[in-house]
Amino acid sequence: MRPLLLALMLTGAVQLQLSAMPAAALDGAIPNLPLLVAVCACLLLGPEQAAWWALLMGWLLDWRSGSFAAYSLPLLSVVLLAGLGRRRVFTGGLALTAALTALGSLLHLGVQLLLAGRWAESGLWTPQLLAGIALRATLVNLLWLPVVFAPLRMLVRWLAPPSMGWER
């Protein structure tokens, strides 16, 4: 894929996450567009390329939020998980993408909470509250998955047509 077009596309995804996705919140859970793009890219293009995508989107989100690695590390961990799933199972369908999105949503939230560190000290975070937040975030991401997966699959097929694998 052309680097300038890719950078514009990923920057647009981050801008959509910051500006439009809060309006698409469902019961307080905001769809995580960079997470969905990273999982789909991992399954469509491979974990090496998706890791760069996740780092770029994570760095942009970290820069915009003023945090250090609060978005890039969770996104990279999700790509690593999706890369393991990609190597084990056929990657052509939406079912595997949905399963990896659900696991990735939970992993992303868990890593962000671990990086925050202060949630355990406050006493306000009960296991029931965390389970409710995780369930809502996972369901919202699964609802938005077809909206991201179909256009990204068409874009990948258009810009990077499949090869026979002989060039390796």
Contacts of 62 (CB under 8 A, 6+ apart): 68, 69, 70, 71, 72
- Show the domains of the chain with their CATH numbers: 3-159 (1.10.1760)
Given this model, what pLDDT does residue 2 score? 74
Mean local confidence (pLDDT), 109-137: 78
Query: 147-162 burial string, b = 16+ CB within 10 Å, else e?
Result: ebbeebbeebeeeeee
* 3 pLDDT higher than 60: yes
Residue 92 pLDDT grade (very low, low, confident, very high; cuts 50, 70, 90):
low
Instruction: Copy the structure tokens of residue 88.
Output: 């084990």
Given this model, what pLDDT does residue 105 score? 93
* 112 pLDDT higher than 70: yes
pTM: 0.86
pLDDT tens readout for residues 34-91: 999 999 999 888 899 999 999 999 999 999 988 888 899 999 999 999 988 877 765 5
Mean local confidence (pLDDT), 82-105: 81
Residue 126 pLDDT grade (very low, low, confident, very high; cuts 50, 70, 90):
confident
Residue bearing the bigger pLDDT, 123 or 107: 107
Given this model, what pLDDT does residue 89 score? 67
Mean residue pLDDT across the chain: 86
